[in-house]
Structure formats: structure tokens, C-alpha cells
Amino acid sequence: AGRVRLNGRVASAGDRLQAGDVVTLDGVRVDWAQLNGASGAAGGERVRFSYLKMWKRRGVVCTTDRRVRGNILDELGEVEGVGERLFPIGRLDKDSSGLILLTSDGGLTNTLLRAGERKRKEYIVTTHVPATDADIARLAAGVVITTLAQSDGRAKPLTARTRPCVVERDASPAQPARLRFVLEEGRNRQIRRMCAACGLDVIKLHRVGFAGITLANCGRPGAWAFLTDAELDVIMPGGAAAASGQQQQQQEQASDAPRRKRSEVQRDLFPPDTGVVGGFPR
């Protein structure tokens, strides 16, 4: 009991799936759309996905649970022309700001977050005092930190050295304690813990890049934009042509057309005669 979770809660018999739902088995994410052939809607129509980016404000929580105050879906608001559920790719902690991607494409999420992909993430970080040259060299070479990691469906402490990364000054007379980080790993609150290991307190953390995507066209906190064809090609090479038609249609609907009726792609989570989810036993 409790091995299967749907959007973070224990799944129940009779639950149904729709595009964007996150299913895990023993803490491991299951690509249920592919396993169950759920990439098609009624009548075999292909499910089209949405791809957005957003400037997350500090204080917004990267969760799709609308019971949580300040959740990212309430911050985003209704997106005209998008009927499927959106969810963030990865997360930024509540105290951080900057770039976050949102999509209804679970396959893309798995690709971008897969450990072996080593997608570049760029941050501008302000500490309580300027880092010394020795601090910067130590941060770039890697420091030993303890973070929580998922193992066998449970969060367990992991103590290990961080991978070498780019750390350089991004200071100005008005911002003397500002640094630029470029990482290819994403451990929990990694930059804050790295700085703490050097005696530095992070007072501001702002993400400006992820997997080749920047905050271009998101000019202020809370702003969002559909990914362009060029950006889609960066994160899913060859996939922009298939996705851009829907993106263009969504942009047109968002600008001057009435909100279309939401359409949901539903699947039985627990077929009563098989007792399995996506080919996995309960």
C-alpha cells in the first residue's frame, strides 16, 4: 500500500489520469503516457503539449498543489488556449527567483531532469559579504555538502563533493558581493549549501538560464512566455516543428479569441481487472 503516488499523494483505486499528471512507483517516476499508450485522446487524436517559461518571483512555491498558498499555478493564472495541466520542470526553492520552465509534456521533463543529461543551469548569487579569491576557487573545484536524495522511495542524506563548476565574480560597485554560478547538477539547495561550506550566507539567488533557455521575453517578475521555435529546438532538437503549430495556435487564442473549452485526456489509473499501473504492479 502506498507504493504508487499520483501528483505526490497516495493513489486510490478509480483515480484517472490526464495529461501532465505525475505518477511514481516506490519514488521513481513512471512515464505512464508512453507505457499506456496515453499519447492519444479519444478517437486516436494526438495529445499536443504546451511549453512555457516564467520569471518566478521570490516567495512562489514550485508545486502544482493548489492548496499550498503561493503555488506556481495560481501565480501563472489561466493561460488562454491551454487546456491541459501544466507543471514545472524541476524547481526553484521558495526563497529563489528567476527562470522556471512549465510544460504538459512529461516526456520532456524526464529528459531534462535525467542525471546523465547534465543540463547547464546558470545563477546570479549575492552573498552577505564578498567572496575571497580562495572561496571562489574552492567553490569552483567542488566542496563537500550534505543534501537529501531519493533512494528506494525515501529521502536519505547524501554527503558528497559537488562536481566542478563555473564560479566567477559578477560584481559591480553597487553589487560587490555578487557571483555567477554555472552548474551541471541539481542537488537540493546546492548553491546555498556550497556557499555555507565557505562561510557565506546567500541573501539572493536568481536563475537566469536553464538548458540553453534564458529569461528573454520575460521582462519582469511574474511574466511568462511560450517558448519560441528556436528555444524548442534547444531543449528538444527536431521537435519544434511538431510543437510550434500548437504554440502559434495558443498564442493566437491567448491574444484575441475566447477561451476554448478545456479538454482532458483521461485514463484509468487502476484498471480493475488487471491491478496494474502502466505495466507495474500495485
Q: SS3 for 64?
A: coil
Taking the mean position of all CA atoms in its chain, how far away is CA 263?
23
Q: How far apart are CA 82 and CA 52, in angstroms?
A: 11
**Closest listed residue to residue 112, CA positions, set 51, 164, 64:** 51
C-alpha cell read off for 169? 565574480
Q: Cα separation of 99 and 222, whole Å?
A: 10
Task: Choose, from 31, 65, 74, 93, the residue flagged as catalytic.
Answer: 93
The rounded distance, in Å, linking the Cα atoms of 180 and 125 is 6
DSSP per residue, 170-220 = ---SS-TTEEEEEES---TTHHHHHHHHTT--EEEEEEEEETTEE-TT--S
Q: Determine the Cα–Cα distance for residues 245 and 164; give it in Å rounded to an integer.
A: 40
Annotated active-site residue 105? The verdict is no
Catalytic annotation, residues: 93
